[in-house]
Amino acid sequence: MERPLTEHIRKDHRPLTLREYEQTGGYQSVRKALKEMTTASIQSVVKESNLRGRGGAGFSTGLKWSFVPMDAPKPKYLIVNADEMEPGTFKDRLLLESAPHQLIEGMIVSAFALQADTSFIFLRWAYKEAARNIRFAMQEAYDAGYLGVNILGSGFDLEMHLHTGVGRYMCGEETALLNSLEGKRATPRAKPPFPQVSGLFGKPTIVNNVETLSCIPHIINKGADWFQKLSRTSDAGTKLFGVSGKVKHPGLWELPMGITMRELLEEHAGGMQAGLKFRGALPGGASTDFLVTEHLDVKMDYASIAAAGSRLGTGTMIVLDDKTSVVGFVRNLIQFFAQESCGFCTPCREGLPWIEKILRSLEAGDGEQNDLQLLDFHTKYLGPGNTFCALAPGAMEPLQSALKYFRSDFEQYIAAELQTLAQGLPAERKQRLITDISKF
């Protein structure tokens, strides 16, 4: 099985030097693109490959590139979204730390295809080792003539910069990222205009994920058909899949798009730890809906996961076991999203802390009868179309699916509280509470 993204990553994860990387075929796609291909032919190959964005949305990379006006005056910008802050997601970190030249090569080819003359890697602040390795690789690329002025005598110029983010989850949203890069508050922008037309400093801009751009050199070298055949489904290529939670071997693997959840969980993550049972999983990171045992044979691709009622997202599965409180599991995620809200729109700013408060009350044994109705209401009120960006709707996905699949877990907290209240009450009021308890 081919693993183009990780085949040359060392076991100790030390990155290859430029010379070592060239010995594996590194930077051949740059030579091919700049000397043998046109911008149109590169875009065509990427589009035909059916490479979909690996940052979570799964939008066609080639189609996204096609929205950039090629006749627009420079500067144009290519930006790598390396602000990996989704809970449970750690796939880009491997590529940033262990294969920085692969990313840089993909950026050069992509920038040439878009005729972008300036590029940025927008990096999560906590990725210190990644920052060191990227800076070193970037300097090697400059020294070898792969970056800077008149690259390989082609007349194409590209400046590359590493920008460390300030540590806000909101910067993962591409327009909030652009605002942050401009020195503004990281709040999302209204669309249109879209970044492809008016992005960084009002200029045409493409923002792509680390894993997405790391696929580009291999597609250019080996072709669209080769990339499609790596997959088991219509969603082309391999994918970095991760598993976290109480499994025997949590980790990250490059596997064909379309493997099943069961394969990922049992064959690669080793199954559940001793004494624990699988209850469910968020298949694509913290902002995706739970899938449960009946879904274990669903293929891990965009269409199949969507048909099952969730999203592939980042492809990094978070597993729920039978000894972990579902309410606590979801409350922990909601706490994160409430903390990371930019505060721009009312439903997100006010709704997420309210949900967290309700869930915390349930955990503390202070739940009330109408709490589940309030939670149900919030999953709709904070859903798609009611907020300025996708942060709150994403936060609702684990909550709404937990209420769907594990509602009895929430009800038990309320029933226990009602039992406590019933003690010592007059008979009539006690009977009324017992009637309420019976509803759960």
Same domain, 102 and 223: yes
For residue 243, is pLDDT > 90? yes
Same domain, 150 and 79: yes
Q: Which two tokens stand for residue 133?
A: 């390795």
| 300 found inside a domain | yes
| 67 found inside a domain | yes
**Given this model, what pLDDT does residue 416 score?**
60
Least confident of 85-89, 141-145, 152-156, 219-223: 85-89
Question: In angstroms, what CA-CA distances link 218 with 116, 128, 358, 422?
Answer: 20, 27, 49, 67
Same domain, 224 and 264: no
Mean pLDDT of the chain: 93
Burial class (CB in 10 A: 0-12, 13-18, 19+), 421: middle
The separation between CA 225 and the C-alpha centre of its own chain, rounded to angstroms, equals: 26
Q: Which of 291, 321, 351 is the last residue of a domain?
A: 321
Question: In angstroms, what CA-CA distances link 178 with 201, 292, 333?
Answer: 8, 37, 26
**Given this model, what pLDDT does residue 56 score?**
82
96-129 pLDDT, tens digit each: 999 999 999 999 999 999 999 999 999 999 999 9
The torsion of the CA quartet 162, 125, 242, 284, rounded to 10 degrees, works out to: -100
For residue 363, is pLDDT > 50? yes
Q: What angle do CA 212, 105, 74 make, to 5 degrees?
A: 85
For residue 195, is pLDDT > 60? yes
Residue 319 pairs with which residues in a beta bridge? 281
Q: Which two tokens stand for residue 20?
A: 């070592």
| 242 found inside a domain | yes
Confidence of residue 1 (pLDDT cuts 50, 70, 90): confident
The structure tokens 């210190």 sit at 128
The torsion of the CA quartet 100, 106, 107, 113, rounded to 10 degrees, works out to: 170
Q: Could you give the maximum distance between any two Cα atoms of the chain, in Å?
A: 92
Confidence of residue 423 (pLDDT cuts 50, 70, 90): low
For residue 267, is pLDDT > 50? yes
Q: How many CA atoms lie within 13 A of 297 on its CB side?
A: 1
CATH of the domain at 343: 1.20.1440.230
**Given this model, what pLDDT does residue 435 score?**
54
What's the CA gap between 429 and 34, in Å, rounded?
A: 81
7-43 pLDDT, tens digit each: 999 999 999 999 999 999 999 999 999 999 999 999 9
Cβ neighbours for 127, distance < 8 A, ≥ 6 positions apart: 82, 84, 93, 96, 97
Burial class (CB in 10 A: 0-12, 13-18, 19+), 350: middle
Same domain, 288 and 363: no
What's the CA gap between 210 and 190, in Å, rounded?
A: 24
| 371 found inside a domain | yes
| 426 found inside a domain | no
Q: How many CA atoms lie within 13 A of 59 on its CB side?
A: 10
**Given this model, what pLDDT does residue 429 score?**
47
**Given this model, what pLDDT does residue 29 score?**
98
**Given this model, what pLDDT does residue 92 score?**
96
Same domain, 93 and 51: yes
Residue 153 pairs with which residues in a beta bridge? none
Percent of the chain surpassing pLDDT 90: 88
Residue at 253: amino acid letter: W
Same domain, 130 and 99: yes
388-407 pLDDT, tens digit each: 999 999 999 999 999 999 99
Percent of the chain surpassing pLDDT 70: 94
Residue at 43: amino acid letter: Q
**Given this model, what pLDDT does residue 414 score?**
84
**Given this model, what pLDDT does residue 379 score?**
95
Confidence of residue 424 (pLDDT cuts 50, 70, 90): low
| 435 found inside a domain | no
**Given this model, what pLDDT does residue 368 score?**
86
Across the range 369-395, mean pLDDT stands at 93
For residue 425, is pLDDT > 60? no
Confidence of residue 153 (pLDDT cuts 50, 70, 90): very high
Confidence of residue 167 (pLDDT cuts 50, 70, 90): confident
| 172 found inside a domain | yes
Q: What is the pTM of this model?
A: 0.91
CATH of the domain at 188: 3.40.50.11540
Same domain, 257 and 186: no
Confidence of residue 420 (pLDDT cuts 50, 70, 90): low
Domain that holds residue 247: 238-321
**Given this model, what pLDDT does residue 439 score?**
53
**Total structural domains within the chain:** 3
For residue 139, is pLDDT > 80? yes
